[in-house]
Amino acid sequence: MEPQSRNNRNRRSERGSSHFDHNNHQTHSQHRDDHRSFDHSRNNNRNGYHRQHSSQPEQADVQVEVGQRFPLTIKRLGINGEGIGYYRHKITFVPGALPDEVVVAEVTHVAAHFLNAKVHQIRKESDHRVTPPDTQSAEVGGFELSHLDYPSQLAFKRDVIRQALEKFQPRGWENYDLRPTIGMADPYHYRNKAQFQVRQDADGNVIAGLYKEGTHDLVDLPEASTQNDATMTVIRALVKMLQELQVPIYNEEANSGIIKTLVVRSSEASGEVQVTFVTNSQKLPHKRELLALIEERLPQVVSVMQNVNQSKTSLVWGDKTTKLMGQDYITETLLGKQFQLSPRAFLQLNPKQTTRLYEETIKALDLTHADHLVDAYSGVGTIGLSLADRAGEVRGMDTIEESVDDANRNADLNGITNAEYSVGTAEDLLPQWVSQGWRPDALVVDPPRAGLADTMIDTIMQVQPEKFVYVSCNPSTLAQNLVELGRVYRVEYIQSIDMFPQTARVEAVVKLVLR
């Protein structure tokens, strides 16, 4: 499987089990949506931070035990949103702590080059601390920064990019124009998709939610401030139906039961909602009664699907998806264009900020009607089709045939005749097109968290499109890629965009021009 494909996500398995789009290594959708995994691994990040930021020699003989408590002054935030301090010169990561706070830290893990700790007590509180709206935010993922006021969150996300650049030091990085992060007027209720695990508690009640950090203990989430109201209304109603009908719920230890996961996606433009039951079997007991209840109680649900995943792994999605009721798709509208979404199709989870992201991409590319544009890692074509009326021709590609079919169908849906999508990798298709006499003037890439593969970078350096925009979801791999790209391209600016308020994740639009 190619590293640059949308179904290859760079993520940390030990933290990927507690987020709204849970544990999927299979599609671009789930992995771009996974706002829990920010870098290659927590330990790698922490060792890198120690080497990069520790201005004092480490005391290798410091004796620390799990459970030990000590006062700690927090110096800054790490790229995963943890507070960072130093205990006898040893870097210490404390989730939930903020810069300038003095906390009593309780050690939870001891490693050779760093400590993990939790907040036992806050002795001096930051002026930027706020009370999170979610009582479960400290237990599950997806709320890493909910205790930090929003202006400070935006400043942090810009600084995360600066820290990544400082670590990898691409050519000219000190002079990059890092523009202030574009935030939201209301940084809550933005997520248009919920992906919740379903289990039974000790009393036999059906619950749906997220796992506690580092465990498979499910936390029921009747409310979640980052989810939009439509998804949460449907999730809670479905839980009640499953309880009423006594549909068998999956038991992870016994690998028995049927319902494993509920996936609910809503369209902001149309109000349509799509439901997918991820099941442990092709059988769905009480299916007829369940569908009747959905039709009666949830008229906004226009599409009901079943995905079968019989594996015992942490992957959410299986290979087979069938329609149980209603439409094959729901339709979302972005920048005046309609996009039909199948259950596993990729679409950014924040519609309002997606519009801003695409507007910034359009501005950075500055296309003319003579330009040939390549839309790499295209998914269902949202970026390329949003740019099609500004370009002469758009060619896109993705390694997932299902996504390419969606992209070409979305082109037809919008009457776009100058865009075509193909199955394959950019490093394979681009040289073929060039050899056939079709050379791109412009390129937009929206790679997975692993960034651009070396073969893709080599292809870009050979073809050298004049206009080039890199849409990044991972500052670390962006900075690494810019080391190589910087030999041919100059970074004109980096515009960060907050797609995931209350989390440590940040997206960026990078405008590059040939030197």
What value does the mean pLDDT take over residues 395-420?
Answer: 95
pLDDT above 70 (res 34):
no
Paired strand residues for 423 = 398
What value does the mean pLDDT take over residues 284-306?
Answer: 98
Domain end point (choices 310, 330, 350): 330
What value does the mean pLDDT take over residues 247-263?
Answer: 95
C-alpha to C-alpha distance for 430 and 171, rounded to whole angstroms: 26
**CATH code of the domain containing 247:** 2.40.50.1070
pLDDT above 80 (res 28):
no
pLDDT above 90 (res 135):
no
Domain-embedded: residue 21: no
**CATH code of the domain containing 114:** 2.40.50.140
pLDDT above 70 (res 167):
yes
13-23 residue pLDDT tens:
223 333 444 33
Domain end point (choices 278, 303, 330): 330
Is residue 382 classed as helix, strand or coil in its secondary structure?
A: helix
Q: How confident is the model at residue 300 (pLDDT cuts 50, 70, 90)?
A: very high
C-alpha to C-alpha distance for 70 and 86, rounded to whole angstroms: 11
pLDDT above 90 (res 41):
no
457-469 residue pLDDT tens:
999 999 999 999 9
pLDDT above 80 (res 11):
no
Which pLDDT score is estimated for 49?
52
398 annotated among ligand-binding-site residues: yes
C-alpha to C-alpha distance for 86 and 354, rounded to whole angstroms: 38
Contacts of 333 (CB under 8 A, 6+ apart): 267, 269, 270, 339
Residues 273 and 400 in one domain: no
Residues 275 and 347 in one domain: no
Residues 344 and 379 in one domain: yes
Which pLDDT score is estimated for 13?
29
Residues 214 and 108 in one domain: no
Which pLDDT score is estimated for 137?
79
Which pLDDT score is estimated for 295?
98
pLDDT above 70 (res 104):
yes
Q: Where are the beta strands (DSSP E) in 193-336?
A: 193-200, 206-211, 218-220, 259-266, 273-279, 301-308, 320-326, 330-334
Mean pLDDT of the chain: 89
Domain end point (choices 315, 330, 345): 330
Percent pLDDT > 70 in the chain is 88
Paired strand residues for 478 = none
What value does the mean pLDDT take over residues 212-220?
Answer: 88
pLDDT above 70 (res 45):
no
348 annotated among ligand-binding-site residues: yes
- Please give the span between the terminal C-alpha atoms of the chain, in angstroms, as a whole number: 33
Helix axes 454-463, 475-485, angle to 10 degrees: 40
C-beta neighbour count of 40 within 10 angstroms: 17
414-444 residue pLDDT tens:
999 999 999 999 999 999 999 999 999 999 9
> C-alpha angle with apex 343: 137 to 22, nearest 5 degrees?
30
Which pLDDT score is estimated for 413?
96
Residues 380 and 501 in one domain: yes
C-alpha pair distances (Å), 487 with each of 377, 409, 451, 482: 23, 38, 17, 9
Domain-embedded: residue 345: yes
pLDDT above 50 (res 84):
yes
Which pLDDT score is estimated for 62?
80
Enumerate the active-site residues. 473
Paired strand residues for 189 = none
Q: Which helix (H) or strand (E) holds 110?
A: strand 102-110
495 annotated among ligand-binding-site residues: no
C-alpha to C-alpha distance for 6 and 170, rounded to whole angstroms: 25
353-379 residue pLDDT tens:
999 999 999 999 999 999 999 999 999
150 annotated among ligand-binding-site residues: no
**Taking a C-beta distance cutoff of 8 angstroms, is the pair 482, 161 a contact?**
no
Residues 175 and 249 in one domain: no
User: Residue 481, by phi and psi: left (phi above 0), alpha (psi -120 to 50) or beta?
Assistant: alpha
Is residue 448 classed as helix, strand or coil in its secondary structure?
A: coil
Q: What is the pTM of this model?
A: 0.87
C-alpha to C-alpha distance for 400 and 397, rounded to whole angstroms: 9
